[in-house]
Copies of this chain bind each other. A is one copy, B any other.
């Protein structure tokens, strides 16, 4: 695929995701981790304007100089930014203006992409596209959060069928032998800086589940009092359960004794043989402890995943998000991309049903704080 085609595909997909939204849905920010959809649309555009167009397209005129202030996220290098908790307070720029901003930047990008692009710039554009794909996944999860926390439980699209995520081979485990293995990205395509350097690790023997944990298996944990027995929990996980009165996975509701969960198609009965979703690292680890098992490390997962089917859930590992040997930050603002988050977060491996096509690989390292669960997170056990 040419770069211009890749650009247009990715950019259009973001707008496609937002199609079913009402204008009002673009605006709100129910919790700090969830951003308003219009912010995602603006921020990904700001990335191209700031890092690609302004330094590289001669004669490019900024769409609106105030937008840097509004759509910058974490890039401290690039001036003042709207603090993250404030995003949901901003009614302007309106949704229409954000789409105009996108069209304006896209037009300028066509101009730039019609000419030949040097390797270094090309790399930066590919990074911008991968960045936008990351925000596409966040668009899905944030839209789900916004609609799923509304007392009217509005559906995003009643035709979406989430029930395909069934497990098949319950209880099967794969044995992996100890030895030196290589992990980290190798190849010539795109990868993030946190997947490098490829390096050797030593793994002990381990057995890893062929399938993800199902809703039914997790329900046994709930029914066995899993949320009321501190024994299975990390100390901070137990505090999280008690302080937030957590009794079940996110989006689950017990209505008159039956379990329902909010899906993008609305409120639906929980399917017991489908893959569990929307649990925190704390819950994943507590469930594993209750089972007398554990979560895989990210390296165990990377090696074993050659042998099983994956990609419907982001899978919590018991690895902290830390740099690989030889990790190097890029120069300038782009260098803020990953390295500065390498503390207090846990690695997730895999991908999910809302990960953009092509945006997954064995070496991909996703990461979140251990209490978060609005991503499509699941559990795979190791014994």
Contact = CB atoms under 8 A, between A and B. Distances in A.
Given A23-B24, A319-B322, A341-B234, A90 B150 contact: yes
A344 B344 CA distance: 5
B69 A151 contact: yes
Interface in A66-89: 66, 69-70, 74, 76-77, 82, 86, 88-89
Given A76-B230, A202-B180, A22 B94 contact: yes
A330 to B, nearest CB: 12
A311 interface: no
Contact of A24 (B94, B154, B340): B94
A28 interface: yes
A157 to B, nearest CB: 15
Interface residues of A, number: 67
Majority DSSP secondary structure for residues of A touching B = mixed
A22 B92 contact: yes
A370 interface: yes
Contacts of A92: 22, 24-25, 147, 150, 152, 154
B202 A201 contact: yes
A344 B370 contact: yes
A296 to B, nearest CB: 11
A234 B90 contact: no
Interface string A198-235: 01111010100000000000000000000000110111
B233 A340 contact: yes
A82 B294 CA distance: 32
A377 B149 CA distance: 36
A232 to B, nearest CB: 10
A128 interface: no
A236 B154 contact: no
Instruction: Kindly list the 10 A-B residue pairs having the minimum CB-CB distance in the complex, ordered from nearest.
Output: A320-B320, A30-B89, A24-B91, A202-B202, A25-B91, A23-B23, A235-B340, A204-B325, A76-B230, A27-B27
28 contacts: A23-B23, A23-B24, A24-B38, A24-B91, A24-B92, A24-B94, A25-B91, A27-B27, A27-B91, A28-B89, A30-B86, A30-B89, A70-B151, A74-B235, A76-B231, A76-B238, A77-B231, A89-B146, A93-B152, A180-B202, A200-B202, A234-B343, A235-B340, A235-B343, A236-B344, A237-B343, A320-B320, A320-B322
Interface of A: 22-30, 38, 66, 69-70, 74, 76-77, 82, 86, 88-95, 146-147, 149-152, 154, 178, 180, 199-202, 204, 206, 230-231, 233-238, 281-282, 285, 294, 318-320, 322-323, 325-326, 340-344, 346, 370
